[in-house]
A = this chain, B = another copy of it.
């Protein structure tokens, strides 16, 4: 087995790198740039029950070392995704993590039921943290009981392991993580974007048509690292870490904080080859620090002390 191999519920990955949801479409665009079979896995764009057009444009804005997006969950709907998008990924033979969104519990449940029954889908990622649509699930993402409740119901119908994607826009990420753990989640994805905004100083108008958007990119990495560090000490679920990762060094930092696999989002826009480049770089860095298997990296920052550390 390769030294980069990692194994998470439903996701048997030849390396810990997968693109983050919404930053890689359904894969076919990047398949024109490189052979996707080098990836550890792929997270596909959020699926809702019916197709959605999303928000008006402009949908993106640049910020210092980051970007704002307010795409608004545009997608063709779960049926078309199952018909057209997922089959196209078959040749690459990599685990597929299907991101799921909705406005109501019923929508989440139905989308999960449909998508998790595809033999190609390895696991589902419950997006209860999209800040960009009025009914994008953010109500579940900041309210612990609703999140736990939804997790329980989705788990009941899912044929595949369920990862819950946490919003960083909460007072206490640990309590949120514990709530969904207790509700039966198989893993956590964290973090989604921070809610942010940018105005044109000349006019005072927001750049985004949606006004606010989700902040991603290197700017938010310190928040992601902190939250993964805190949560990994208090729950025993595996964590797919994300938030500002753009280099192999970032991947090892995030795994040290407690992540078992790492998703790369915004960095794909900066460099479409970023995922394969990171994957190529990882063994060199492991050599540099004398670590044989990358899975040993997970949680190094806390393992070094005998008792778990709380950070404040």
Contact = CB atoms under 8 A, between A and B. Distances in A.
Contacts of A244: 64
Contact of A301 (B171, B206, B219, B311): B206
A174 to B, nearest CB: 12
Interface stretch (A13-21, A110-118, A119-127, A196-204): A196-204
A225 interface: yes
Interface string A187-229: 0000000111111111111100001100101111111011001
Contacts of A295: none
Interface stretch (A45-53, A95-103, A249-257): A249-257
A225 B204 contact: no
B312 A212 contact: yes
Interface string A271-300: 000000000000001001100000001001
A76 interface: no
A204 B64 contact: no
A248 to B, nearest CB: 9
Contact of A196 (B212, B226, B253): B226
A134 interface: yes
A170 interface: yes
Contacts of A196: 222-223, 225-226
A219 B65 contact: yes
A93 interface: no
Nearest to A250: B201
A5 B151 CA distance: 53
13 contacts: A64-B218, A65-B65, A65-B219, A131-B312, A134-B312, A194-B223, A195-B223, A195-B226, A197-B311, A199-B225, A204-B256, A204-B301, A205-B304
